[in-house]
Amino acid sequence: MDREDARRAIDAVWRIESARLIAGLARIVGDVGIAEDLAQDALVAALEQWPRSGVPDNPGAWLMTTAKNRAIDRLRRGEMAARKEKELGREVELQARLAEPDLAAAADDDIGDDLLSLIFTASHPVLSTEARVALTLRLVGSLTTAEIARAFLVKESTVAQRIVRAKRTLAEARVPIEAPGAAEREQRLASVLEVIYAIFNEGYAASAGEDWIRGDLCEEAMRLGRILAGLAPTEPEALGLVALMELQAARFPARTGASGEAIPLLEQDRSRWDFVLIGRGLKALERAEALSHPLGPHALQAAIAACHARARAPEQTDWPRIVALYDGLAAITGSPVVRLNRAVAVGMAFGPAAGLELLDGLASEPALDGYHLLPAARGELLERLGRAEEAAAEFARAAALSGNARERELLRARAERRR
Amino acid sequence: MRVMAIVKATKDSEAGVMPREELLAEMGKFNEEMVKAGVLLAGEGLHPTSKGARVSFGGDGERTVVDGPFAETKELIAGYWLMQVRSFEEAVEWIKRCPNPHNEPGEIEIRQVFEAEDFGEEFTPELREQEERIRAQAEQNQ
């Protein structure tokens, strides 16, 4: 195998195997930092040996065996200080676990449990959101520190430190590496979903022409979401999140114009939407709906996205249904942005006057202060009511608040339309 | 990026011979693994070409329809998977783990799917020029 090819093949195998490898090791040694070190040791060994011997038939097993051998070496040399009490008893227990023969096909359930535990641990609430995101992408997503840094437009050293500190925090807080019990489950799951959706949104914000890895974050997030939904198939919110991401990502091919400008949803060329993702998203949503009533926040957002996805043309959008879904979402989150979106939907379903009334109710909402979409929405409704001058004023206000050059352009153009 | 993994036909698949129970189970397990890893987007098996047809496009605008079955077994398609992966090599490593889909030697071809960004590279000089003009115009309007 030539060096280049070998390197690429090993990277590919690593991407497939590393999360489960780290997860299995984490269960054995009780510490994600040590687990990752051991996994890295195994990778180094693979990089040394596989170019000569070829990729083994069962790469996952090879890596696990190698990592365990390294662990035994380290134990013998006293290099693996147990983060918890350094009792002889614990070391003996650890040695025993390391000596366990790897069953040729370790029960899928066990591997699944390990991976699920790792996912929950990496997004433990004791960590900051940034730390959770970095740790999840590193341990579960198998991105390198450099890739994470490029994806989030920060320095590599910043990410490296974030990850080191995160591992230390988990160890010091003695966070057990396990999936949460029923009592904490909902809250902990929400934390995981938040991390995955944060990764998706970062990718969503990336524009065409930027470093490709930023766009790839959406694919990464969808992959993580699918893995989670596969491991926790009875959790409707996990399915809801996957549905939401797939339905939103389906619109990507239509969202940018010829000169890189953002095209709003209602003006997009729907023939460019990705129907593979729409099909998948709708199916995931169906499964979420079959599992629970009422729907959780991610499933609700997915259901809203589904209303758009099902409409062949904007005129066919089921706006009353969208309003009802926003009712549900507002009841759960009470978020002013949700209420804003609901007002826009009401404007579409029941006429601009109705929508405007709701927006007026949001005028003094502190959280929306400086949020350009509020005046933009008012401008839209005023325009439809024929109140052109007031509309122009709102669009100008929105343009001034917008942080995005292209968007500012579009809003200013609308402000100047009647002049 | 996306790839399509194309399962080529064999004598058996063309004859409509169902794979052994065991093989079906292994195949199911493999599919399941790809689903759980979040890489499988879609996949279907295709009926043999005896149930298929070809539309030929003559250079003169003529269309001819020919019913299957077709002869070149090794080049025919029996099924496909659509996968989402980070690299082409990742798809190769996945497909290497696939149980042989048939009861005899066979082949799975892997091809990268064109995506929106790819077309950027295909911009002709004319289209590129047009892009420049639109960009310049947009800048002027600011």
Residue A200 has pLDDT above 90, yes or no: yes
Calpha distance A286→A279 (Å, rounded): 11
Q: Which residues in chain B have Cβ-Cβ distances shorter than 8 Å to A13?
A: 93
The token duo for A28 is 């054995």
- Dihedral, B119, B122, B127, B132 alpha carbons, nearest 10: 80
Residue with tokens 């639109």: B134
The complex's ipTM works out to: 0.86
Q: Which residue of A has its CA nearest to B142?
A: A409
Residues of chain B whose beta carbon is less than 8 angstroms from a beta carbon of chain A are 35-39, 41-42, 82, 84, 86-87, 89-90, 92-94, 116-117, 120, 131, 134-135, 137-138, 141-142
Residue B30 has pLDDT above 80, yes or no: yes
Cis peptide before B69 (omega within 30 of 0): yes
Average pLDDT over residues A259-275: 88
Residue A166 has pLDDT above 70, yes or no: yes
Q: What is the pLDDT of residues A253-266, one digit of tens each?
A: 898 877 767 788 99
The SS3 call for residue B44 is: strand
Task: Specify the pLDDT at position B123.
Answer: 40
Residue B121 has pLDDT above 60, yes or no: no
- CA neighbor of A178 nearest in space, from A4, A333, A23, A310: A23
Q: What is the pLDDT of residues B75-98, one digit of tens each?
A: 999 999 999 999 999 999 999 999
Q: Which residues contact B122 (CB under 8 A, 6 or more apart)?
A: none
Do A202 and A150 contact (CB within 8 A), yes or no? Answer: no
Residue A305 has pLDDT above 90, yes or no: yes
The SS3 call for residue A251 is: coil
Nearest Cβ partner of B38 from A8, A224, A409? A224
Q: Kindly state the DSSP code that residue A363 receives in the 8-state scheme.
A: T
Count interface pairs A-B at CB distance under 8 A: 72
- β B63-67/B40-45 pair status: unpaired
Identify the weakest region by mean pLDDT among A95-104, A172-181, A194-203: A95-104
Do A24 and A139 contact (CB within 8 A), yes or no? Answer: no
Q: Kindly state the DSSP code that residue B101 receives in the 8-state scheme.
A: S
Q: What is the pLDDT of residues B43-60, one digit of tens each?
A: 999 999 999 999 999 988
- β B2-8/B40-45 pair status: unpaired
Identify the weakest region by mean pLDDT among A92-96, A343-347, A390-394, B1-5: A92-96
Nearest Cβ partner of A223 from B38, B87, B89? B38
Residue B131 has pLDDT above 60, yes or no: no
Q: Kindly state the DSSP code that residue A313 receives in the 8-state scheme.
A: S
Buried b (16+ CB within 10 A) or exposed e, A288-305: bbebeeebbbbbbbbbbb
Task: Specify the pLDDT at position A109.
Answer: 72
- Dihedral, A206, A245, A334, A183 alpha carbons, nearest 10: -120
CATH of B2-114, one of 3.30.70.1060, 1.20.1560.10, 3.40.50.2000, 1.10.10.10: 3.30.70.1060
Calpha distance A328→A306 (Å, rounded): 15
A413 shares contact with chain B (CB less than 8 Å): yes
The token duo for A304 is 């809203």
Calpha distance A290→A295 (Å, rounded): 10
- Dihedral, A383, A386, A392, A398 alpha carbons, nearest 10: -30
- Greater model confidence, A95 or A244: A244
**Domain ranges across chain A:** 1-103, 107-232
Residue A386 has pLDDT above 70, yes or no: yes
Binned at pLDDT 50, 70 and 90, residue A208 comes out as: low
Which of A2, A4, A8 has the highest number of chain B CBs within 10 A, making it the mutation to test binding with B? A8
**Domain ranges across chain B:** 2-114
Tell me the residue type at A379: G
Which of B26, B29, B93, B126 has the highest number of chain A CBs within 10 A, making it the mutation to test binding with A? B93
Residue A106 has pLDDT above 70, yes or no: no
Average pLDDT over residues A98-106: 61
Task: Specify the pLDDT at position A385.
Answer: 94
pTM of the model: 0.89
Residue A81 has pLDDT above 80, yes or no: no
Task: Specify the pLDDT at position A73.
Answer: 87
Binned at pLDDT 50, 70 and 90, residue A414 comes out as: confident
Do A248 and A305 contact (CB within 8 A), yes or no? Answer: yes
Angle (CA) A283 B93 A123, round 5°: 55
Which of B2, B81, B86, B92 has the highest number of chain A CBs within 10 A, making it the mutation to test binding with A? B86
Please state, rounded to an integer, the average pLDDT across all residues of chain A.
89
The token duo for A413 is 């153009």
Q: Which residues contact A300 (CB under 8 A, 6 or more apart)?
A: A240, A325, A328, A329, A332
Task: Specify the pLDDT at position B132.
Answer: 57
Residue B124 has pLDDT above 50, yes or no: no
Task: Specify the pLDDT at position A3.
Answer: 79
Angle (CA) A400 A404 A407, round 5°: 75
Residue B138 has pLDDT above 70, yes or no: no
A15 shares contact with chain B (CB less than 8 Å): yes
Do A40 and A142 contact (CB within 8 A), yes or no? Answer: no
Identify the weakest region by mean pLDDT among A177-191, A205-219, A400-414: A205-219
Give the whole-number percent of chain B exceeding pLDDT 90: 64
Identify the weakest region by mean pLDDT among A108-117, A311-320, A393-402: A108-117
Calpha distance A149→A168 (Å, rounded): 20
- Can you spell out the DSSP letters for A378-396? HHHHHHHTT-HHHHHHHHH
A275 shares contact with chain B (CB less than 8 Å): no
Q: Which residues in chain B have Cβ-Cβ distances shorter than 8 Å to A216?
A: 86
Average pLDDT over residues A167-187: 91
Task: Specify the pLDDT at position A322.
Answer: 98
